[in-house]
């Protein structure tokens, strides 16, 4: 047997560890702790700063870009709703032509309605062409800014022209009251104010050019109708301002939620790294040193079966400790990226459980969401090993339209909503906490319907 001094030497000999990785970059662990504040808001709130690193862990730092992203999301939703309502306006124009205008005017009105119907169908196609889920909305920044304004201008021209082509203006004037309804879907008060001002001008021109209103009812009636329409436009503008403030509040809450997610992730990753290093530099080195001593003892007593049994037990213990340190903080995630880390994670779980786990990984980039995705993959594979009673499982990781997609499936007993609720009530919050992180990152975690087993699909937009 070696003495305690030799034991300490063996511990140093078997310590490759994350600490050496820190020292290889010229910084000690203590230096990193002092140089990086644990507050993820390492820059001023709301500034576009990208990301920082704390204790070797990437930390998401939100910015004004998140506010713009939420606004574009609301704008695109309003754009789609307006495109559907525009089809209804076309139908009302056809009904107004058939019911309220003489046949001699139908030719010009029909031509105008056909042109407007083509524009309405075009707007509808453009709005719902971009219906793929979880697509980054950055590419729609200019579209969200100019397309709604362009088609709203078409609305103003078409409805004003329809009124000017109608000699009996009561039905066409009623059609024009639909314009403020379409504008009220906007979330930009400036844009809405410009459009509503144009509609007021168009309504005033329609009243002034309508011979029936002026001749039969006089100017007081015309002024009253204009005032009523102006009040309707003002109401629409107030609705837009309210929606604008609501969108800003939602965007602010989204930013705060991501800040809280960053803080939670940072605290969790730092704690896991510390535990991983403590296991690696403590119990694991003791086990390795004891195993080395038993190897020396077996050389002296090669026929002692008890030594071989003890060696096998220590080998199993060291493998389990290594796996625990990897799952708590995978150094490969920082060294070669998420793809290799997921492959190694699948290999570890396959060796440990005997389940045949295949992997299909095509993820050649690095992104701020990588720790979130790895945590979800670790939790899902752990559930497969512990609860599924499966023989086969699969892990797929890739990128689709700027979205990280993780699929984990097995052929086991499956899981129901009641089972999930019962586990959550019993305190098993692992998957629920990861779902909250995915939601806070703007993603989704869904259980897909399968004939057998369980299939979970995770989609998170890339931040980089």
pLDDT score for 363:
93
192 and 162 share a domain? Answer: yes
317 and 378 share a domain? Answer: no
- Residue 192 CA to residue 448 CA, distance in Å, equals 42
Contact assessment for residue 314 and residue 291, using Cβ atoms and an 8 Å cutoff: yes
As for how many domains the chain has, the answer is 3
pLDDT < 70 stretches in the chain: 1-67, 69-70, 130-146, 168-169, 211-215, 258, 261-262, 265, 326-332, 416-430, 464
pLDDT score for 168:
66
pLDDT score for 395:
94
321 and 196 share a domain? Answer: no
121 and 235 share a domain? Answer: yes
Q: Which of 329, 358, 387 is the last residue of a domain?
A: 329
pLDDT score for 58:
43
pLDDT score for 393:
93
pLDDT score for 212:
67
What is residue 54's three-state secondary structure?
Answer: strand
Contact assessment for residue 450 and residue 433, using Cβ atoms and an 8 Å cutoff: no
Tokens, residue 428: 């098993």
User: Is 274 a member of any domain?
Assistant: no
159 and 293 share a domain? Answer: no
pLDDT score for 404:
94
User: Is 59 a member of any domain?
Assistant: no
Domain span at 171 = 64-254
391 and 440 share a domain? Answer: yes
- Residue 94 CA to residue 158 CA, distance in Å, equals 13
User: Is 72 a member of any domain?
Assistant: yes
Give me the sign of the Cα torsion angle 87, 89, 91, 93.
negative
118 and 149 share a domain? Answer: yes
pLDDT score for 181:
82
- Residue 302 CA to residue 308 CA, distance in Å, equals 9
- Phi then psi for residue 369, to 5 deg, are -85, 0
pLDDT score for 403:
93
């Amino acid at each position: 047997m070696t003495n305690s001094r030799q034991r300490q030497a063996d511990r140093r000999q078997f310590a490759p560890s994350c600490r050496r990785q820190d020292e290889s970059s010229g910084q000690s662990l203590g230096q990193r702790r002092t140089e990086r504040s644990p507050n993820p808001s390492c820059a001023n709130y709301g500034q576009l700063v990208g990301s920082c690193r704390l204790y070797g862990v990437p930390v998401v730092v939100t910015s004004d870009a998140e506010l713009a992203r939420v606004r574009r999301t609301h704008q695109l939703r309003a754009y789609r709703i307006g495109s559907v309502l525009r089809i209804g306006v076309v139908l009302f124009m056809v009904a107004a032509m058939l019911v309220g205008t003489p046949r001699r005017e139908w030719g010009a009105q029909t031509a105008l309605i056909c042109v407007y119907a083509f524009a309405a169908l075009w707007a509808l196609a453009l709005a719902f062409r971009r219906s793929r889920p979880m697509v980054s909305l950055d590419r729609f920044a200019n579209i969200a800014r100019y397309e709604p304004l362009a088609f709203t201008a078409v609305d103003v021209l078409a409805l004003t022209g329809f009124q000017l082509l109608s000699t009996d203006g009561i039905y066409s004037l009623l059609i024009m009251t639909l314009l403020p309804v379409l504008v009220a879907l906007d979330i930009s008060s400036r844009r809405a104010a410009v459009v509503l001002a144009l509609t007021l001008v168009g309504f005033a021109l329609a009243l002034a050019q309508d011979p029936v209103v002026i001749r039969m009812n006089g100017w007081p009636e015309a002024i009253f109708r204009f005032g009523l329409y102006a009040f309707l436009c003002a109401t629409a503008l107030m609705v837009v301002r309210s929606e604008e403030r609501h969108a800003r509040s939602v965007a602010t809450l989204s930013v705060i939620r991501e800040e809280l997610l960053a803080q939670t992730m940072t605290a969790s990753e730092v704690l896991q790294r510390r535990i991983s290093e403590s296991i690696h530099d403590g119990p694991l080195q003791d086990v390795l040193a004891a195993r080395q001593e038993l190897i020396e003892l077996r050389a002296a007593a090669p026929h002692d079966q008890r030594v071989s049994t003890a060696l096998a037990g220590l080998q199993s213990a060291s493998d389990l400790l290594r796996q625990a340190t990897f799952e708590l903080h995978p150094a490969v995630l920082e060294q070669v990226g998420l793809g290799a880390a997921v492959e190694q994670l699948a290999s570890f779980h396959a060796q440990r459980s005997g389940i045949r786990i295949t992997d299909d990984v095509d993820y050649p980039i690095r992104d701020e969401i990588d720790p979130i995705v790895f945590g979800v993959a670790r939790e899902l594979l752990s559930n497969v090993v512990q609860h599924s009673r499966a023989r086969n499982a699969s892990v797929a990781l890739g990128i689709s339209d700027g979205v990280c997609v993780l699929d984990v499936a097995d052929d086991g007993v499956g899981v129901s909503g009641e089972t999930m609720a019962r586990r959550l009530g019993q305190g098993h919050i692992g998957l629920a906490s990861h779902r909250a992180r995915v939601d806070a990152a703007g993603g989704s975690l869904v259980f897909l319907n399968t004939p057998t087993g369980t299939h979970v699909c995770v989609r998170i937009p890339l931040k980089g």
